[in-house]
Amino acid sequence: MRKCNKLMVIKNSANFQLVNCMSKPKVYVTREIPERGLKIIKERFDAEVWPEYAPPPKDVIIQKARDVDALASLLSDKIDAEVFDAAPKLKIVSQIAVGFDNIDVKEATKRGIYVTNTPGVLTETTADFAWTLLMAVARRVVEADKYVHTGQWRVGWHPSMLSGRDVYGATIGIVGAGRIGSAVAKRAKGFNMKILYYDVIPRPELEKKLGAKRADLDTLFRESDFVSVHVPLLKQTYHLINEERLKLMKKTAYLINNSRGPVVDEKALYKALKEGWIAGAALDVFEQEPTPVDNPLLTLDNIVVAPHVSSASHETRSKMAEMVAENLIAFFEGRTPPNLVNPKVLEVRPLSKQF
């Protein structure tokens, strides 16, 4: 049963009469998000939460969407026209992620549905993880860990044991120098690296502060010792890293990707790693997630992998959950949500106070 958060009182000639109970907006939350955000959502909304660890099947999302004013979604939920068709009351999708390629934003905008995300708070955490991947693959940390754990360390020290590549002083090529790419560039400066970046927008602040140089993609791939990818998944970035580009890389170079899996053609990457076109790769994201255990990439030693956890620190995930709540509250209070990704929607459904 819906709880009331506001009583509407109408005055008639004799007395005050309760005539209506304005109900709280209904929100379906597709997973247990961190408590800091969930608590607020539960207090302010009539909320239902999918209780399982695995995502709700699409038909559950469709069925739940039928009767809600808002969805709080994860990047693994496909929120498309099929969901919108089933959801006549849906007004906002508040996503817990900076990326929102799982949501058909164009379709949402057309229907007057607001879409929000959680940028900014995860920038440094995600850049830290790109750096973790880069260091891990260059210095063979995962192999070294297994080496010790499995009892292969039988000689105390040997000059060629698990040699990797130096990070300091090398050249890093950053593909996509937005918030996260720029934060990776800052870290590279601390390692005295030469910084190249590719971006559709020039980034004079990076050039001035860090001495970064803007390069075309081919030059960046040719000259970098580490290529780190930080672009959103768009039609234009699908398989941006393909066979042709991998072939441009140095045999001693490494590819790092913690943006979106489909930006890299995994079949081409497998060939590049297997046939030694490049030295190694580190991926936090895959074309299909979870990646199947028989993904050929997982048979290789020169790759470090993680299960899409770049923003997974306790602090950051809590802040992201809080932002999900803030975006919802702003919308229902009649304010522009702080992280609106489709501002054109304001023309389709002007803001109005709903609680």
- What's the gap between Cα 22 and its chain centre? 36
98 binds ligand GLV (CB under 6 A): yes
Phi, psi torsion values for 133, nearest 5 degrees:
-60, -45
Residue 210: CB minimum distance to ligand GLV, A = 24
Size of the site for ligand GLV (CB under 6 A): 6
Residue 163 burial (CB count, 10 A): 9
User: Does 125 engage in binding with ligand GLV (CB under 6 A)?
Assistant: no
Q: Which of 72, 115, 121, 122 binds ligand GLV (CB under 6 A)?
A: 122
Task: Lay out the site mask for ligand GLV across 156-175 (x = CB under 6 A, - = otherwise).
Answer: --------------------
For residue 250, which of 229, 280, 270 has the smallest C-alpha distance? 280
75 near ligand GLV, judged by CB under 6 A: yes
By beta-carbon proximity to ligand GLV, the closer residue of 24 and 317 is 317
Told to check if 133 binds ligand GLV by CB under 6 A, we report no
Q: Known catalytic residue: 165? A: no
Q: From 230, 226, 233, select the one nearest 287 (Cα to Cα).
A: 233
Whether the upstream peptide bond of residue 159 has omega within 30° of 0, thus cis, is: no
Tokens describing residue 289? 């997630």
Contact with ligand GLV (CB under 6 A) among 83, 97, 108, 137: 97
Angle between helix 141-149 and 123-138 (nearest 10): 60
For ligand GLV, give the closer residue by CB, 97 or 229: 97
Residue from 43, 205, 244, 289 carrying the catalytic annotation: 289
Piece of 94-102, 195-203, 234-242, 290-298 that binds ligand GLV (CB under 6 A): 94-102
Report how far residue 355's alpha carbon sits from residue 352's, in angstroms, rounded to the nearest whole number.
9
Touching ligand GLV, residues 308-327 (CB under 6 A)? 311
User: Which of the stretches 95-103, 145-153, 239-247, 261-269 binds ligand GLV when contact is defined by CB under 6 A?
Assistant: 95-103
Which one of 97-105, 106-114, 193-201, 223-231 is the stretch in contact with ligand GLV (CB under 6 A)?
97-105
Shortest Cβ 216–ligand GLV spacing (Å): 27
Q: Among 308, 317, 322, 326, which one carries the catalytic annotation? A: 308
112: amino acid identity, one letter:
G
**Contact characters 263-292, ligand GLV, x per CB under 6 A:** ------------------------------
Q: What is residue 253's DSSP assignment?
A: -
Question: Could you confirm whether 326 is annotated as catalytic?
Answer: no
Q: Which listed residue (31, 44, 111, 260) is catalytic?
A: 260
Give the DSSP letter string of 92-159. EEEESSS--TTB-HHHHHHTT-EEE---STTHHHHHHHHHHHHHHHHTTHHHHHHHHHTT---SS--T
Give the interface segment with ligand GLV, choosing from 55-63, 91-99, 149-157, 272-280 (CB under 6 A).
91-99
Only one residue has tokens 């937005």, namely 178
Active site residue 260: yes
String of DSSP letters for 24-80: PPEEEESS---HHHHHHHHHHSEEEE--SSSPPPHHHHHHHHTT-SEEEE-TTS-B-
Q: Does 255 bind ligand GLV (CB under 6 A)?
A: no
Q: Name the residues that contact ligand GLV, by CB under 6 A.
A: 75, 97-99, 122, 311
What amino acid positions are annotated as catalytic residues?
260, 289, 308
